[in-house]
Structure 1
């Protein structure tokens, strides 16, 4: 009981820090809004992990999936905050992160790449400094997302996730999945995994196109505002990576269930033969 309460409180604090980082390091016009959002995120996380029964958070008992997601979001938000801070209060740390991001941005900014499409979200009259900042942020965040997906693939292929940490409980780790909804469980998991993977691959290309099209109908997003740039680019990189990881996880679980079925059928056939 105490261990669960402490763990839930720590997770809530860590989530609140991610939400509050841009407001803590950058000047903001309404810090009370950032404080409220951080508090709400902390309370929701605490309520989820302090409960004995799952509600909406998937893979609660299947590390390191959620830990990789958190670290990826933390690193992305912190790096983009430092990049934005470079234009306001430059330091050695902000210069280092901006230099690394600029290098990665130019490497990944080639025709039809997601980074090139992200840069094209800017209006034609955007300043050169704004274009360079967005390219730097997009390149760094996209590389972080790719490394996170690669790390999870290594956990699955190299370390046997999720069975390396014990039995996998579908009810605890997939609270929104109803195995009695109809249809074969394996086929449904494989279908959902494939859909998540395909959407995760397409979203970095689709999001900039949708934003560019919507700018013709509504007021364009203020990319010169640091908070807008940080959260939009973070979502653009993190959400597709998270969907790909979820797709990989679902297909892995489907494979484990199918493997267990084959073993059960083989044992039954052996028992009948004996």
Structure 2
């Protein structure tokens, strides 16, 4: 609901629709976390994974919405956000970068101000993504994530992952984690051409509405960061399982009579 509340030109019809979507989303999350059995949300009992993802998306939409709001209603906070976003956007606007790709795919007739706003939004989105990934990496080190006690319910936290199927579970987790990280690297380059094709087919543009710009840029940065987090989490889980296996094998060897002193 935050962008529609911050942006002054949001129509009442759009605001009502967003409030309805937010209500159903809130009910869905409450029911998922209240359920005992697995659902659709992964790592439900392994904080702060979902908290970091929610915080990343929240800060993205808030900062980009403030930057868009500052175009028509300038304020000290909005100018500060715009300055930080412009500095970051310019530093990431180099050859073969995702920011350069987005600017290259902007429709004809885009003004300099609109291009600057897109660059600012890209810089803010990437700043939040990098901060979120850094915070999650620090927290899993400090808190021995996913479980300080070493217990982890794969059935509840990874409902789509079957540990009994296929190859060794550690190899599968490492492989799936690497795939998620690779997709996180590729998505910033894959989503702009796809979005350009959709926009051209339906004759829409994210520059037509600040609200559409906020969500388009936020999703563009959030999806790769979310895949990065998922890849890090799965590889961390694989490391925990391998450590438990080594401890178990060491205990078994210590109890073997062949290892007892004569």
1:24 aligns with 2:8: no
8 Å contact kept, 1:121–1:211: no
User: Which 4+ stretches in 1 moved above 6 angstroms?
Assistant: none
CA distance in 2, matches of 1:50, 1:99: 42
Alignment of 1:79-228 (within 5 A): 79-164=63-148, 167-215=151-199, 217-228=201-212
**Alpha-carbon shift at residue 159 of structure 1 (Å):** 4.0
| Structure 1 residue 216 displacement after superposition | 5.2
1:261 partnered with 2:242 = no
RMSD: 1.8
* RCO comparison, higher one (Cα < 8 Å, 6+): 2
Provide closer, same or farther for how the CA distance between residues 25 and 165 of structure 1 changes in structure 2, counting only shifts above 3 A. Answer: farther
Unpaired segments ≥5 residues, structure 2: none
Query: TM-score, normalised to structure 1's length?
Result: 0.87
In the TM superposition, what is the alpha-carbon distance from 1:217 to its structure 2 partner?
4.4
The alpha carbon displacement at 1:145 in A equals 0.5
* CA-CA distance at 1:139 after TM superposition: 0.9
Matched residue of 2:148: which SS? helix
8 Å CA contact 2:150–2:240 kept in 1: the answer is no
Q: Which position in structure 1 is the counterpart of 2:25?
A: 41
Matched pairs, number:
255
Secondary structure, in 3 states, of the residue corresponding to 2:74?
A: coil
Select 2:47's aligned residue among 51, 63, 80.
63
| Unaligned segments of structure 1, at least 5 residues | 1-19
1:181, CA displacement in angstroms? Answer: 2.7
Match of 1:233 among 217, 236, 246: 217
1:77 and 1:234 in contact (8 A); partners too: yes
Alpha-carbon separation, structure 2, partners of 1:71 and 1:122: 29
* SS of 2:208 mapped into structure 1: coil
Displacement of 1:263 in angstroms is: 2.0
Is 2:224 the partner of 1:243? no
Deviation of residue 173 (structure 1)?
Answer: 1.7
Q: Does residue 74 of the first structure (1) align with residue 58 of the second (2)?
A: yes
Task: Please state how far the C-alpha of 1:222 moved relative to its aligned partner.
Answer: 3.4
Q: Distance in 2 between matches of 1:112 and 1:99?
A: 24
Structure 1 distance, partners of 2:42, 2:228, is 14
1:213-259, Cα deviation, whole Å (9 max, x unpaired): 45554424232311111111000111100100100110111111112
Return the alpha-carbon distance in structure 2 between the equivalents of residues 263 and 154 of structure 1. 25
- The Cα offsets for residues 83-110 of structure 1, whole Å up to 9 and x where unpaired, read as 1111222222212211211111112211
